[in-house]
Structure 1
């Protein structure tokens, strides 16, 4: 079922729109996501990369994951809000951080991943 999703950063300079199917959702407990979000985990929605439309001044930070794949973390260049994450493991997909959604209720809890990185204080 096709769905419309929109979102933005804290200052509103960056926005995104997506129309299409949601592939899946998950909560990531890896240290990279903890550093990016400043939280114990990062809830994300995986969507078709070719259908995601973005506008605004973004900055991309690239880093190799423990798994060996390359990660791209996409932030608002102005306020630093994390918006998106991509991985070479899924080149046709992109993750949207649930906190950036205009309507966060669209996020439905999915699988917990990289739970070995879960902090004792994060009950996710």
Structure 2
């Protein structure tokens, strides 16, 4: 089923919209996502990169994950809000952080991943 999603950063300088299939959703508990979001986990929706349209001043931070893949964390350059995440393991895909959605109720909980990084205060 195709979905239409919109979202933005905290200051509104960056926006995105997506029309297409959601491949899957996850809650990532890895330390990289914890550092990037300032939270215990990062709920994400994985989708086709070529169907995502963005506008605004973003900044990309690249880092090699413990698994060896390259990660890209995409933030608003102005306010620092985390918006998107990509991995070299899926070059044709990109993830939207659920918290950046205009309507976060569209996120449906998926699989928990990298649970070894789950913090004791983030159970549930």
TM-score when normalising by structure 1: 0.99
CA distance in structure 2 between the partners assigned to 1:16 and 1:47 by the alignment: 13
User: Residue by residue, what CA displacement relative to the aligned partner does 1:52-79 show, whole Å, maximum 9, x if unpaired?
Assistant: 0000000000000000000000000000
**C-alpha deviation, 1:123, in angstroms:** 1.2
Within 5 A, what are the aligned runs for 1:1-124?
A: 1-124=1-124
CA distance in structure 1 between the partners assigned to 2:123 and 2:83 by the alignment: 23
How many residues are treated as equivalent by the alignment?
124
CA distance in structure 1 between the partners assigned to 2:84 and 2:123 by the alignment: 23
SS of 1:5 mapped into structure 2? strand
CA distance in structure 1 between the partners assigned to 2:40 and 2:61 by the alignment: 20
CA distance in structure 1 between the partners assigned to 2:60 and 2:8 by the alignment: 16
SS of 2:19 mapped into structure 1? strand
Runs of 4+ in 1 over 4 A off after TM superposition: none
Unaligned runs of at least 5 residues, structure 2: none
TM-score when normalising by structure 2: 0.99
